[in-house]
Chain A
C-alpha cells in the first residue's frame, strides 16, 4: 500500500494555465506538507497543514494555494502557471510527537512550456 500518493506523476502544461496536484495519505498522520524541489535538488517547504491550521512559506507566490478537504488529503492548486514553476512537487505527511519524521510521496514532475 502506498503511504503517501500523489497524482499526476507527470504534468506538462502551457503558461497561464491553472492546474492541480492531488495528494492523499493513509498513515493517519495529522500534518501534511507540500515541498518544491528545484533543478539543484533543494527541497523547500511550501505549506504545512495541521488540524486546519495552515502555515505558509512567505516566499511562495499567492498563485499557489493548498486545499485540504480532510485530514488525509492536501491538494495543491496553481493559477496562472509560469515557466519558473517547472519543478518537482512533493507531498508529505508526518505525525506530531511521534518522532515527527516526514514521509514523502513519489513526486509530481511539472513542466510549464
Chain B
C-alpha cells in the first residue's frame, strides 16, 4: 500500500458544482496536512494547510481532516473553470519539509 493514495481522475464537473477531492494515508503519525493546486506547466501552489483533525475554511475552499479514518478532503464550492488544475495532497508527521509526502494528484476539469 502506498503511503498516500489519491484518485488521479480526471474528474470533470459543470461550473457551479461542489467538488470533493480526497486522499487516504496509511501513516497514523501524520499530523500536518496540505492541499496544493498545480496548473499545467506551473509549480504547485499552496491552497490549504491544517494541523491535526478538523475543518478549515478559506473562501470557496474547505479542508477536512479525519485522522481516525486516515482520510482528508478538499471541498470546492461554486467551482469555476479557473479551478481546473491538478490538486495534490501532502502530509507529514513532523514540521520538517523534507519529510512531506505528496499524493499523485487529482486532475480536475470544471466545464463552463
Contact = CB atoms under 8 A, between A and B. Distances in A.
Interface stretch (A14-22, A37-45, A69-77): A37-45
Contacts, number: 57
B43 A107 contact: yes
A52 to B, nearest CB: 15
Interface in A68-89: none
B42 A55 contact: no
Interface in B1-54: 8, 32, 34, 36, 41-46, 49
A105 interface: yes
A40 B8 CA distance: 9
Interface residues of B, number: 22
A100 B98 CA distance: 10
Interface in A55-113: 55, 90, 92, 94, 96-97, 99-107, 109
B61 interface: no
Contact of A41 (B8, B43, B46, B98): B8
A43 B102 contact: yes
Given A101-B46, A104-B43, A107-B43, A43 B98 contact: no
Contacts of B46: 101-103
Interface in B76-108: 86, 88, 90, 95-98, 100, 102, 104-105
3 smallest A-B Cβ distances: which pairs? A104-B43, A48-B98, A43-B102
A25 interface: no
B18 to A, nearest CB: 24
Given A99-B49, A101-B46, A101-B49, A42 B102 contact: yes
